[in-house]
Amino acid sequence: MLIIVTLCVTIKEVMSASTKLSTALKALCYFAESHPEPKSSAMIPNRIGVNASKLRKLLSMLTKNNIVESTQGISGGFLLKKDPAVLHLQEIYCAIEDRKAFHLDVNYTKGEVQKETAKFNNYFLDLFAEVQVEIEDKMRGITLANILKNVGMNSSYKS
């Protein structure tokens, strides 16, 4: 008997997550470089080349999670609230996403092959749960300071 199991990584969802993450990281690098000077939400999109509306949503999430701070007034704007040396990629990701970094869909079947496909599905779901843990561990080991260094930027962050 031939059993076909179809696994599908939902690329659109993964790509959507990576776009949000890369946008947030660009903004955070900019904030680290210009700290302690707040940057207005009008200045940031031009500096990092992103959509202003999407950026405002991300900044709101980052503010709610105490990663950035919003200041009021004539010279108000956003600034980095956490030290880049301790702010890790997993924390940033969790602040802007409500789903796992690695998403797996499996096709469920009915009828006589249900038990066999369930075995495959369970195996792959367990396997990818392990991969998810490895991704999260790797992300915890990458700080904003690491990213700044790798892209040739300097942080002027002072707590």
Stated pTM of the model: 0.79
Q: Give the per-residue pLDDT at 7.
A: 41
Q: How far is CA 45 from CA 40, 59, 112, in A?
A: 9, 11, 55
Phi, psi of 81 (to 5 degrees): -100, -20
113 pLDDT higher than 80: no
85 pLDDT higher than 90: yes
5 pLDDT higher than 60: no
Q: In order of start, what are the domains of the chain with their CATH numbers?
A: 8-150 (1.10.10.10)
Mean of pLDDT values over 58-65: 97
By C-alpha distance, which of 9, 16, 25 is closest to 132? 9
Q: Give the per-residue pLDDT at 102.
A: 61
Would strands 77-80 and 68-71 be described as parallel, antiparallel, or unpaired?
Answer: antiparallel
Q: What percent of the chain lies above the pLDDT cut of 70?
A: 80
Find the angle CA(21)-CA(154)-CA(27) to the nearest 5 degrees.
Answer: 25
